[in-house]
Amino acid sequence: MARYPTAFAASAALLLSLALASPAIAAPKVHVVVMDKLKFGPVPAGLHVGDTIRWVNKDLFRHTATARDGSFNVDLQPGASGTTKLTKAGMIAFFCRYHPGMTGKLAVAK
Ligand SMILES: [Cu+2]
């Protein structure tokens, strides 16, 4: 039916506007960062203190996601995944201990 997508879009827009109207009670989110081919994948936008990063190692190699400021560290075998929590705001640089060329940055808001 042609009408169904329109009704769906309208209700989705309503839900979105409700969510945007109350940012103070936004629940902590889980964001995924993939490790593959000796690189970190794209870092998600909209990170906040209290959110969780799920690091997913899709590579054939063991990797870590290690914050330069020591605020998190996770060591993952190939195919493994693990989570770290964002505990502070700011630009947080991270790298892999085994492959120093693997780097990235998380922009974390309060
Ligand atoms: Cu690595």
Distance, CA 93 to ligand 1 centroid (Å)? 15
Query: What pLDDT does 27 receive?
Result: 86
Query: What pLDDT does 91 receive?
Result: 97
Where on the phi/psi map is residue 39: left (φ > 0), alpha (ψ -120 to 50), or beta? beta
Distance, CA 97 to ligand 1 centroid (Å)? 6
Query: What pLDDT does 1 receive?
Result: 46
What's the CA gap between 101 and 58, in Å, rounded?
17
Distance, CA 39 to ligand 1 centroid (Å)? 8
Residue appearing with tokens 């902590």 = 28
Query: What pLDDT does 62 receive?
Result: 98
Instruction: Judge contact between 93 and 100, C-beta under 8 A.
Output: no
Count of other CB atoms within 10 angstroms of residue 9? 10
> For the chain, which residues score pLDDT lower than 50?
1, 8, 14-16
Domains and CATH numbers, the chain: 26-109 (2.60.40.420)
